[in-house]
């Protein structure tokens, strides 16, 4: 089988390519370029991250790995798609007073969307697409399911919940059944990287407001009762649950409990005011079934680093659900993704309203 492997320049994708080659497959490496010369963000984006002008380092690493493995290699320009989809969503969401998750959008529309699509358009033939993500894809009853990784500490299904059936049907995830320690052992055994090689980088390592290219806009910091307790220079610099950096003196610690983009206000309260037990979610993507017809018990993550908690998911329409936790949760943040699970199966997910 001829398999296109998305190479990031990191350990995990390199081992994915190695494993597939050792299985006897014809492996082709491909790296997506998402930074273009002349990008208007060049003056503010200087730190090393997934998105930034330093991507050439990762490209060189991916090219080096391809050479070591003796596989064909391609660099694919995905900058236009990345800017139009990921960055525009990022900016519009922040300026609407929401906190987006760009990695979720990048995976769905760029890594597993634009990258293989552009490869085919350029005449690069392949049967399947593979990455170094820690997750599993299985076919059951004619439907492709996304399941959590064997290594719970590395599971990345939260970031993959928007993949559709077509994408999943073409996907191979060689690391899904492996522990990270085994992946690192293979890395050293095959001299792909040294022991000092770090983990994959985050979306952006600087202040997210750098990417908005929006001038400061003074506004009020208020309590839920409307009392003015301070000022800010842009509501987009804050997120739900934030405590540090408010610059407001108070007898009790204050937290951001809501953002009012329309009135340019940051609303604060005490810790207990950051807890809620229910919310709505839209922009749904179901994997385990076509649509949710009736209430279902499951578990849910409201951020990638959180523990999955018991919920009742009730359909409000074909495009919106109500999610009710068994116990109140802190900092349920509009714009972030909620991902639903039953045991090791990803049911799907949506965006918190």
pLDDT tens-digit series, residues 13-32 = 999 999 999 999 999 999 99
Reply yes or no on domain 2-189 having CATH 3.40.50.620.
yes
Banded pLDDT at 43 (limits 50, 70, 90):
low
Q: Which two tokens stand for residue 231?
A: 């000022």
Residue pLDDT, tens place only, 325-335: 999 999 999 99
39 has pLDDT over 80:
no
Q: Is 285 helix (H, G, I), strand (E, B) or coil?
A: strand
Sign of CA dihedral 330, 331, 333, 336: negative
Task: Report pLDDT digits (tens) over 201-210.
Answer: 667 656 777 7
- Distance between first and last Cα of the chain: 43
φ/ψ of residue 43, rounded to 5 = -75, -20
- pLDDT, residue 31, reads 97
- Which of 15, 351, 4 has the alpha carbon at shortest distance from 177? 15
pLDDT at residue 49 tops 90: no
pLDDT at 211 over 90: no
Least Cα distance to 64 among 24, 117, 146, 9 occurs for: 9
For 120-159, how does the pLDDT look when each residue is reduced to its tens digit (9 = 90+)? 999 999 999 999 999 999 999 999 999 999 999 999 999 9
Where does the pLDDT of residue 77 fall: very low under 50, low under 70, confident under 90, or very high at 90 and above? very high
345 vs 285: CA distance, rounded Å? 14
pLDDT-derived band of residue 214, with 50, 70 and 90 as boundaries? confident
Q: In CATH, what number does 215-269 get?
A: 2.30.30.280
User: In the predicted model, is pLDDT for residue 47 greater than 60?
Assistant: no
- Residue-wise pLDDT for 298-308, tens only, equals 999 999 999 99
Enclosing H/E stretch for 128: strand 128-130
Residue 6 has pLDDT above 70, yes or no: yes
Residue burial 192-217, b: 16+ Cβ < 10 Å; e: rest: bbeeeeeeebebbeeebbebbeeeee
> Using CB atoms within 10 A of its CB, is residue 182 exposed (0-12), middle (13-18) or buried (19+)?
middle
Binned at pLDDT 50, 70 and 90, residue 55 comes out as: confident
Q: What is the pLDDT of residue 321?
A: 98
Q: What is the pLDDT of residue 198?
A: 66
pLDDT tens digits for range 157-198? 999 999 999 999 999 999 999 999 999 999 999 999 887 676
Helix axes 180-189, 11-22, angle to 10 degrees: 70
Query: For 277-298, how does the pLDDT look when each residue is reduced to its tens digit (9 = 90+)?
Result: 999 999 999 999 999 999 999 9
pLDDT at 113: 97
Mean residue pLDDT of the chain comes to 93
Segment 229-232 long-range contacts (CB within 8 Å, at least 24 positions apart): 229/254, 229/268, 232/266
Write the CATH number of the domain with boundaries 275-352: 2.40.30.10
pLDDT of 48 above 70: no
* Phi, psi torsion values for 115, nearest 5 degrees: -60, -60
Domain with CATH 3.40.50.620 in the chain: 2-189
């Amino acid at each position: 089988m001829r398999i296109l492997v998305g190479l990031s320049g990191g350990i995990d994708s390199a081992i994915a390519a190695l494993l597939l080659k050792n299985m006897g497959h014809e492996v082709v490496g491909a790296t997506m370029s998402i930074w273009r010369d002349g990008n208007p963000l060049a003056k503010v984006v200087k730190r090393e991250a997934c998105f930034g002008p330093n991507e050439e380092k990762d490209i060189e690493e991916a090219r080096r790995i391809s050479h070591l493995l003796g596989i064909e290699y391609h660099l694919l320009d995905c900058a236009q798609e990345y800017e139009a989809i990921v960055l525009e969503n990022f900016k519009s969401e922040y300026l609407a007073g929401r906190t987006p998750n760009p990695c979720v959008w990048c995976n769905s529309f760029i890594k597993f969307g634009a990258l293989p699509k552009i490869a085919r358009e350029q005449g690069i033939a392949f049967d399947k697409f593979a990455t170094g993500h820690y997750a599993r894809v299985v076919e059951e009853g004619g439907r492709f399911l996304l399941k959590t990784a064997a290594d719970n500490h590395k599971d990345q299904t939260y970031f993959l919940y928007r993949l559709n059936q077509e994408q999943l049907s073409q996907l191979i995830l060689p690391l899904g059944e492996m522990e990270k320690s085994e992946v690192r052992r293979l890395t050293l055994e095959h001299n792909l990287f040294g022991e000092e090689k770090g983990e994959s980088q985050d979306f952006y390592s600087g202040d997210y407001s750098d990417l908005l290219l929006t001038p400061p806009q003074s506004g009020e910091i208020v309590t839920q009762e409307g009392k003015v307790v301070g000022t800010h220079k842009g509501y987009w610099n804050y997120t739900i649950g934030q405590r540090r950096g408010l610059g407001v003196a108070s007898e009790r610690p204050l937290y951001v409990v809501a953002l009012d983009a329309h009135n340019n206000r940051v609303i604060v309260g005490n810790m207990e005011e950051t807890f809620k037990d229910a919310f709505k979610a839209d922009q749904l993507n179901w994997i385990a079934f076509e649509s949710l017809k009736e209430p279902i018990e499951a578990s849910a993550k409201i951020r990638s680093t959180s523990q999955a908690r018991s919920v009742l998911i009730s359909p409000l329409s074909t495009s919106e659900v109500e999610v009710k936790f068994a116990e109140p949760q802190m900092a349920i943040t509009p714009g972030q993704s909620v991902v639903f699970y039953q045991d090791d199966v990803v049911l799907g997910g949506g965006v918190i309203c």
